Amino acid sequence: MSRHNAFIGTGVAVITPFKTNGEVDFKALAKVVDHLIKGKVEYLVVLGTTGESVTLDKKEKEAVIAHVAEVTAGRVPLVLGIGGNDTREVARAMETTRMKGYSAVLSASPAYNKPSQRGIIQHYTVLAKASPLPILLYNVPGRTASNLTADTTLQLASVKNIIGIKEASGNLEQVMKLLKYRPKDFLVISGDDNLSLPIIGCGGNGVISVVANAFPSTFSEMTRQALKYNMKEAQRLHYKLIDITDQLFADGNPGGVKAIMQMMKLCSDTVRLPLVPVNETVRKKLQELLKSFNPN
């Protein structure tokens, strides 16, 4: 790999902190960004699913985009999430959104419409022409109700301006087929925290992580060790986090990671409806796991 080294390693699907009244908490957002950069992650992904982008209005999105770019100040690369289920509107957003300070766009496959594979290919081909920045595909059928097959992804890999995929299908056989036949410079990035180690072991390029919001140092070091194929150390760090990871998703994302980040005094646990904070059983388990967690 040579062309897109900035996106090899650990990217973080950054949360959007809210005040208890539901407004975006820009002070906490700056604190989270600094926390992640100090944790030595390789890049940040802004306004993805974990950032609750679907509940932010246009002005809020513009403010978050600008604020993260200002706080980051070029210290790590930034990826911006822009997606939707109306191809024309997504293309228009890519053409008109101010992306100063950003290096790529992450765009999830359309949700709700359930497009065919031909429709998905045409959707991303339009976006590739519209976007001023390189595009990372995002396959997350658990949310979109449609899967980008390996064959579809491989066809899109030849489209100019599409540089890789965040793969969150949970299907390792599909990922392995993609890894075997992908073009040389096409990035395959895990979208599942607990599957990052096996995906990297099969040849993947890293992860866009939720868990790393709370534990950037440990998670990014696990990824670096795996990319070096120092698997014994990577396994040690992976299993250090696996129980926490399970609980972070036990009652919804980003409710889980915001709960533990509240315990770490990084932000509140406020989420916007229809999401709700985690239940008390999960909260107590997270408290216990955090109390016993040793980052080394």
Q: What is the pLDDT of residues 16-31, one digit of tens each?
A: 999 999 999 999 999 9
> What average pLDDT score do residues 204-210 get?
98
Residue 55 is classified by DSSP as G
Residues identified as active-site: 138, 166
Say if CB 269 and CB 247 are below 8 A apart.
no
Extents of the domains making up the chain: 5-230
Exposed, middle or buried: residue 271 (CB in 10 Å: 0-12, 13-18, 19+)? Answer: buried
Band of residue 126 on the pLDDT scale cut at 50, 70, 90: very high
Mean pLDDT in the chain?
A: 97
Quickly state the pLDDT bin for 61 (edges 50, 70, 90).
Answer: very high
pLDDT at 294: 86
3-state secondary structure of 262: helix
What phi and psi, each to the nearest 5 degrees, are found at residue 267? Answer: -170, 175
Asked if pLDDT for residue 3 goes beyond 80, the answer is: no
Helices (H) and strands (E) in the chain, counts: 12, 8
5-230 has which CATH code? 3.20.20.70
| pLDDT mean over 257-282 | 98
Helices (H), ranges, 210-249: 216-227, 231-248
Share of the chain above pLDDT 70, in %: 99
Judge whether 148 and 120 are in contact, CB under 8 Å.
yes
Q: What is the pTM of this model?
A: 0.96
Q: Give the other-Cβ count within 10 Å of 246's Cβ.
A: 14
- Within 8 A by CB and 6+ apart from 217, the residues are 39, 40, 295
| Mean local confidence (pLDDT), 197-219 | 98
Q: What is the mean pLDDT of residues 154-169?
A: 97
Give how far Cα 212 sits from Cα of 222, 254, 260, Å: 11, 12, 12
| Tokens encoding 180 | 């075997």
For the cut 60, the answer to whether the pLDDT of residue 158 exceeds it is yes
Residue 153: closest CA among 134, 179, 191 = 179
pLDDT at 1 over 70: no
- Cα–Cα distance list, 170 to 139, 148, 191, 192, 251 (Å): 10, 12, 9, 7, 19
Residue count (the chain): 296
Task: Report the pLDDT averaged over residues 150-177.
Answer: 97
When pLDDT is averaged across residues 51-67 and rounded to a whole number, the result is: 97
Q: What percent of the chain has pLDDT over 90?
A: 97
Q: What was the pLDDT predicted at 176?
A: 98
